[in-house]
Structure 1
């Protein structure tokens, strides 16, 4: 099942994608795709609906982030060995954890803001997952059961703010529009193996990233278990799992985004995003 939210920014309604790729409105069934709708029983009720009985939504309708009410965005750094190598870093033995402000979340095709003081705005295609049931100090081997579904994400990063402005990663990761999610939340049952998904990103039509979740160092199931030892994961929480090589900071010479650039990205089974970079 592919769940989504459609409509103007701040006025999104819940929906789903039917087998013909058409958007169907769910607002007559549930008020929104909130954390309360992400548990197994709630998802089963939605899966039992006949999409043909739901109202159609115009194809060109804006899509928002597919989950409302997210309280935490956690992210894993340097989680692909080849990406760590391109940045000159040593792959960490344990997951490197940082956070992004929830205000950085936006829709899958919304514009990407280029702040006035930004000099090194970079891209990162990432597999994200959304927690469906509370996870606290969970046992090994049980991590996937706590995931509601998977989502395409772009972990935009202002590298100067991230590395040179006397702060934690969160400073360079949290500006508005730096965490586009979607187009859909793809429920866990539709992704047979989250560690076997191709992923790509281009800038102005030129390929920058081409990789696979197969080269992830710390796998999805482990990340849920690991993170739950340090922080309680709640329904609606979003976890980003790292990026493959090809980021702007790793190019020789480095290349970063400018106003007018168009970034396009996708992950197998999770859809595509398109962003135009717009100067503030």
Structure 2
């Protein structure tokens, strides 16, 4: 089942998807454009993977890492489906990153790969925008590149793990203004979902609500103010965001 969280009529509602529309728990059914979308889960600790697709590492002229390249993301970065992401006026290269997000469902410590999916509650989508100008280097992403307000749309839906037959064989796709600019598959991850859960839980405790953003395949191109960017993961849905400039962001 697809679950979400929205603001509607002055209240926050847990919702489910029904025939392409939004069903509130009180039974009302509304259009997705009639609500304000929130993150489908309330993030706790958020882990983000860098260079976790070999083809993406290659297009950036890097070799795939020998150990997961992980950094943390603050909750201020997340916005919902159909939200607006700010592009600073001094940015020369800002691109999207379509990512499958793993949601941890129960406390995990020293988990073995073969048991990893027992600790997953489900999946969602993130678009982890990055400003390449702000990177110190690709192995030490700094705060300005990855932890800016509004830089990570997430959602719209959280999908139960039982409804995703094989999370390591899902198509990822990004379009800008209707044109396909990125396409890949989760089977090309350098470190699989079980690898990542084993690795992370090997030195720290994972808790319910923790998120793992698993990286993006090749196909990253610059975006511009006014672009509508749609990141899609097979079986989960489409996440829509719009790039806005300084004037619009300051008025929000």
Give 1:263's aligned residue.
229
* Match in the other structure for 2:240: 274
**TM-score between both structures, scaled by the size of structure 1:** 0.81
Structure 2 CA distance for partners of 1:244 and 1:134, relative to 1, 3 Å: same
- Which secondary structure state, in structure 1, belongs to the residue aligned with residue 100 of structure 2? strand
User: Cα deviations across residues 5-36 of structure 1 (Å, max 9, x unaligned)?
Assistant: 1126x953211113x2332223x6xxxxxxxx
2:90 maps to 117
- 1:95-106 matches, within 5 Å, as 95-106=68-79
Which residue number in structure 2 is paired with residue 23 of structure 1? 22
**Residue 177 (structure 2) pairs with residue 178 (structure 1):** no
Q: Which residue of 2 aligns with 1:6?
A: 6
Q: Secondary structure at the match of 1:214?
A: helix
Distance 1:140 1:261, change over 3 A: closer
Change (3 A) 1:87 1:168: closer
**Contact residue 114 and residue 279 of structure 1 kept, 8 A:** yes
Q: Is the 8 A contact 1:128 1:238 kept in 2?
A: yes
Q: Distance in 2 between matches of 1:168 and 1:63?
A: 28
Q: Do 2:125 and 2:156's aligned partners in 1 also have CA atoms closer than 8 Å?
A: yes
Deviates more, 1:168-177 or 1:217-226: 168-177
Alignment partner, residue 63 of structure 1: 37
Among 167, 180, 188, the residue aligned to 1:207: 180
Q: Deviations over 1:41-70 (max 9, x none)?
A: xxxxxxxxxxxxx332344223221012x2
Tell me, in whole angstroms, the C-alpha distance in 2 between the residues paired with 1:73 and 1:105.
11
Q: What stretches of structure 2 of length at least 5 have no aligned partner?
A: 247-252
Match of 2:49 in 1: 76
Determine the structure 2 residue equivalent to 1:153: 126
Judging changes above 3 Å, is the alpha-carbon distance between structure 1 residues 262 and 55 closer, same or farther for their aligned structure 2 residues?
A: closer
Report which of the two has the higher share of strand.
2
SS in 2 for 1:201: strand
DSSP-derived class of the 1:222 partner: helix
| Helix, strand or coil at the partner of 2:196 | helix
Q: Is the deviation greater in 202-211 or in 182-191? A: 202-211
Question: What secondary structure sits across from 1:92 in the alignment?
Answer: coil
TM-score after normalising by structure 2: 0.90
